[in-house]
Structure 1
């Protein structure tokens, strides 16, 4: 960083350490905040160059990671702006952002912002970036497989919003291409197969999805990726549950839960507990489902905060379980809290907010009907 003449040597050296760190400065939220602060300061003194592109790409990635914990739309906006500038700088300098993580990270940030805003333009832009990367990258290199996977995931999400069957068909086909592009033993094969499994599930190709998740699980196990193994077990359990194999699904969820606990992944643990509660609820076993939903909500409030979209979804799940049990006194306040949170975070007209409002309306109506019947 010899060109950073306007930055004090200590700051420049710390920025160098951040950029050269293989693991990233994410051991704590304070470390992430400090790294963002330092790189932002250094960026202001960095002319258009490979170094500026690197700083922009890293800032975009760090802000994306931070937004996953804070639900900050401002962080997502900044992440997208930095990543857009990074890809433009890379092109200006004669490279292509598809060869780096810039475009996959930009697509991830756009998908995340869509989850907050419901604005389809974010998904459409992500699709455009994915198509550009695929056209530029030759077959047989890992970057193309990852671009195919990212585009497949985006198209699946767009299908879930629009119902366009063409998007889903393409998502499945791209996922299959990505799996063919990578060598069987490649360390990224697990994520590629997991994404393909999700697309197959959306296409109701459940048996093929189960087979694909099992392949992903084998890859994660072979590469020693414990987090990936737990995620693959979680996905596999969901697919097994969809086919009515509840006992096998419960056993598989418990295996995933054990790994998440062993590696200290509290977020992954809450996801499994939430899904396991869903299996019990579907089987009519509310005595096991409700305590799991309760602990999941408590844990997510502590990990993510009360207004994170995932926490709001957990609050809704618990409310629905109480409603099925006929406990409207506990269900309705939770529905009210979920609606308030959705309106504040997503706005009154977001599809999720409208669904939340419908939940509350239904519960109030049923409570009134039951009170009238008893009276």
Structure 2
């Protein structure tokens, strides 16, 4: 290489690194339009230095996709992500970020686009890749198993989802010990999407163990994502205890779930409605109408605001109120 060309290449490389730093700083400060502009310039420089298919481009393409995703430009983010993935697949282990992280980003974009079938196919592709690895990261793999399990469970494929949650649970216990919040999350998901033909006692035991973990490590009065998990565990354990014929314990758990959810989301959030209704129905069935009615009325106000006055759920709550009032 002629000396003048070597100098120009060195100078362009220095400019490229400066642009990468500029993009990283802008992303960290949520200046997404500024980050996108820096990424675009960095990509142009990298193409000139290394060529359009070099593994060096995966980094700025990943950052560009992140900036576009943050601005809600999903089609552009998906195109940038797809190009980074194609380059990383050809480059193999030299890609940075590595292929699993690039695929995670594409999954996030597809989820935002509401493309559930494509997300499922991508998760299966990612899982196959992890299964080919000699020593995959257990927490990354467990997170993927958890996400695929949730997707399958929500579409009704519980029999396929259940072993994924069990595998995620085993990986988290091995990596983190038996009493970590991520273990509680895996227990909660496994219990929530347990196959329909499994006994309620099995679900209750898993949820009870999850509650025991979070009671030790989560302060529901302080901010944090774990508080939502606490509220959900309490509600679902209440439902399991109710199914096992223990309405008194179920009511106590629903009361705790309401307290946790109110601390997290306030007193009129839609997430409170199911617990308000379940607790009201326990009181209603026991003849404690004066305790049931205020709960029903709160649930009705939330349903009307969230779902509208003509929704079947709103109508059902109104009917229960009418029936309760007729007995008071």
Q: TM-score scaled by structure 1?
A: 0.59
| Per-residue CA distance 1:78-109 (angstroms, 9 max, x = gap) | xxxx4465345423332656635973x986x7
Alpha-carbon spacing, 1:320–1:136, altered in 2? closer, same or farther (3 Å): same
> For the residues of structure 1 that align with 2:64 and 2:143, how far apart are their CA atoms?
15
Structure 2 counterpart of 1:300, from 261, 283, 287? 261
> For the residues of structure 1 that align with 2:310 and 2:262, how far apart are their CA atoms?
18
Matches within 5 A, 1:220-239: 220-224=172-176, 226-239=180-193
| Per-residue CA distance 1:204-253 (angstroms, 9 max, x = gap) | 22122111111111222233272322211111111226443321211111
Alpha-carbon spacing, 1:332–1:193, altered in 2? closer, same or farther (3 Å): same
> For the residues of structure 1 that align with 2:173 and 2:64, how far apart are their CA atoms?
25
- The equivalent of 2:136 in structure 1 is 185
Unaligned runs of at least 5 residues, structure 2: 1-17, 44-56, 93-98, 221-226
329-338 or 290-299: bigger deviation: 329-338
How far is the alpha carbon of 1:317 from its aligned partner?
Answer: 1.6
Q: State the SS of the aligned residue for 2:193.
A: helix
Q: How many equivalent pairs are there?
A: 271
Q: TM-score scaled by structure 2?
A: 0.67
> For the residues of structure 2 that align with 1:92 and 1:192, how far apart are their CA atoms?
33
| Per-residue CA distance 1:111-151 (angstroms, 9 max, x = gap) | xxxxxxxxxxx7xx557635642443134622133225435
Matched, 1:319 2:262: no
Matched, 1:58 2:28: yes
Alpha-carbon spacing, 1:238–1:370, altered in 2? closer, same or farther (3 Å): closer
- The equivalent of 1:99 in structure 2 is 62
> For the residues of structure 2 that align with 1:99 and 1:305, how far apart are their CA atoms?
37
> For the residues of structure 2 that align with 1:289 and 1:322, how far apart are their CA atoms?
11
Matched, 1:213 2:165: yes
| Per-residue CA distance 1:284-343 (angstroms, 9 max, x = gap) | 543222211111111232344335x4xx41344223331354255444433444565677
Unaligned runs of at least 5 residues, structure 1: 1-47, 61-81, 111-121, 159-166
Structure 2 counterpart of 1:146, from 78, 81, 104? 104
How far is the alpha carbon of 1:199 from its aligned partner?
Answer: 1.3
Alpha-carbon spacing, 1:299–1:367, altered in 2? closer, same or farther (3 Å): closer
> For the residues of structure 2 that align with 1:131 and 1:197, how far apart are their CA atoms?
27
Contact residue 303 and residue 313 of structure 2 kept, 8 A:
no
Structure 1 counterpart of 2:35, from 67, 71, 86? 86
Contact residue 39 and residue 60 of structure 2 kept, 8 A:
yes
> For the residues of structure 2 that align with 1:360 and 1:261, how far apart are their CA atoms?
34
CA RMSD of aligned residues (A): 3.7
Contact residue 237 and residue 253 of structure 1 kept, 8 A:
yes
- The equivalent of 1:252 in structure 2 is 206
